[in-house]
Amino acid sequence: MAMTTNPSHNENSGEHREEKASRRPGEAAAFLVTIVLLVAIALLGVSLWKTIDDDFKPAETVASADAGATPAAANDPVVLTVDGTQVRESEFAAMLQSLPEQMQAALANPGGRDILAEELVKRKVLEKYARDKGLARQPQVAAALAVTQGEILATAALRDKLASLAPLTPREIYDQNRDQFETMVLSQVVVPYEGSVIAQGKPAPKEPEAMALASAIAQRVRGGEDFATVARAESADAQTAEQGGRIGEVGRGAFDDEVEQQLFALPVGGISEPISTPFGIHVFRVDEKKNRTFEELEEALTRSGRQLQLEKEIDALVKNAKVDYNPEFFRGRD
């Protein structure tokens, strides 16, 4: 994020000097203390993974970073050194950009730079203490570092993907994603099983027995019983049971891929097979299907169409990834 100066600041510099002259010393001091405290608090949330402990990073990462340091150094001067640890201009700029925008504006001057430098020195001293104590090897710290590093890399990937997207008109985005704008109105009956969310810790049948109960309910409504009546009598989800099982309108992404495929494949009036989720075992009925028109979505696509493009790119990456879940940790997954 490039910092820009406000032209009106120079034009009204006389007014600013007059305002500063009229400010009481106590007010100025309080303002400075507030800025220092806010910067200190904000810096506590800034990533430490880069500098706390190089031993934590994979060897190839350290090697590649060292290999690329020399060419970049000419355009990235050292602005601060703390106990031998160099801080380059790029790190200082990244630190400033990590702060809230209002705080960035308050610090975008020589005096603010000095305040940020003082807080950065404190952080570097603490980082050295952590390195010397080997704190990065503590399981909780190592896990937090891994999460932070992953967030930084994921954000970089999103920016790279977004920059690579060819610009499309709202109409082109709509035409290429018509299936994503399909919605349906659903009703459900939910049967609890032991350990499910809907059971809320109360006694409930084991999952195979609950599946048999749900299958019997599906057969009853397929045989002609009124779905709303059955839902009011049998569903463990009190909120939808009161409405005759009605969930309302849902779109793509409301369920995981496997459940979504089953539901969108059903015709209007179709009754699903029992579907087990961590919430409970569901028997769904498709009450209505809709396709949202371009006219309905034009404004939203104009505003956030590129976000939809980006999500499609991410979905493609996820589909090509090999993912293995631990079934003992994640219920409802094989």
The predicted-structure confidence for 284-331, as pLDDT tens digits, reads as follows 999 999 888 899 888 888 888 888 888 888 888 888 888 887 877 776
Query: Could you tell me if 301 and 185 lie in one domain?
Result: no
Residue 43's pLDDT band, with cuts at 50, 70 and 90, is very low
171 domain residue, yes or no: no
pLDDT at 72: 53
Closest CA to 45 of 151, 153, 157, 159: 151
> What pLDDT is recorded for position 21?
40
Q: Are 51 and 124 in contact (CB under 8 A)?
A: yes
Considering the domain architecture, whether residues 63 and 98 belong to the same structural domain is answered as yes
Same domain, 153 and 42: yes
Whole-number pLDDT of residue 258: 87
pLDDT level of residue 51 (50, 70, 90 thresholds):
very low
Same domain (yes/no): 31, 149: yes
Annotate the chain with three-state secondary structure.
Answer: CCCCCCHHHHHCHHHHHHHHHHCCHHHHHHHHHHHHHHHHHHHHCCCCHHHHCHHHCCHHHHHHHHHCHHHHHCCCCEEEEECCEEEEHHHHHHHHHCCCHHHHHHHCCHHHHHHHHHHHHHHHHHHHHHHHHCHHHCHHHHHHHHHHHHHHHHHHHHHHHHHHCCCCCHHHHHHHCHHHHEEEEEEEEEECCCCCCCCCCCCCCCHHHHHHHHHHHHHHHHCCCCHHHHHHHHCCCHHHHCCCCEEEEEECCCCCHHHHHHHHCCCCCCECCCEECCCCEEEEEEEEEEECCHHHHHHHHHHHHHHHHHHHHHHHHHHHCCCCCCCCCCCCCC
User: Quick check: is 327 in a domain?
Assistant: no
Between 22-31, 200-209, 251-260, 295-304, the lowest mean confidence (pLDDT) is in: 22-31
> Is 255 found in the same domain as 142?
no
Instruction: Find the domain containing 237 and state its range.
Output: 177-293
- In this structure, the answer to whether residues 282 and 305 fall within a common structural domain is no
Nearest to 61 by CA among 138, 122, 159, 146: 146
Highest mean pLDDT among 61-70, 107-116, 159-168, 207-216: 207-216
Q: Is the separation of the CB atoms in 297 and 178 below 8 Å?
A: no
197/316 same-domain check? no
Structural domain ending residue among the three candidates 160, 187, 213? 160
pLDDT at 228: 97
Residue 147 within a domain = yes
In a domain? residue 72: yes
Compute the average pLDDT of residues 193-198.
Answer: 92
Of 126, 160, 194, the residue that ends a domain is 160
60 in any annotated domain: yes
* Same structural domain, 186 and 307: no
Q: Could you count the other beta carbons within 10 Å of the beta carbon of residue 139?
A: 7
Within-domain flag for 100: yes
Q: What is the mean pLDDT of the chain?
A: 78
Pair 85, 193 in one domain: no
Average pLDDT over residues 171-188: 89
Tell me: do 152 and 199 sit in the same domain: no
Give the domain CATH number at 264. Answer: 3.10.50.40
pLDDT band at 333 (very low <50, low <70, confident <90, very high): low
Region 227-245: mean pLDDT is 96
On whether residue 217 sits in a domain, the answer given is yes
Measured between its terminal Cα atoms, the distance across the chain in Å is 44
Q: Which of 92, 88, 69 has its CA nearest to residue 78? A: 88
Domain finish residue from 160, 186, 207: 160
| pLDDT given at position 306 | 83
High-pLDDT (> 70) share of the chain, %: 77
- Domains of the chain: total: 3
Could you tell me if 130 and 86 lie in one domain?
Answer: yes
Confirm whether 3 is domain-assigned.
no
Residue type at 86 in one-letter notation: Q
Q: Is the dihedral of CA 254, 259, 261, 266 positive or negative?
A: negative
Confidence band of 281 (pLDDT split at 50, 70, 90): very high
Instruction: Answer yes or no: do 150 and 47 share one domain.
Output: yes
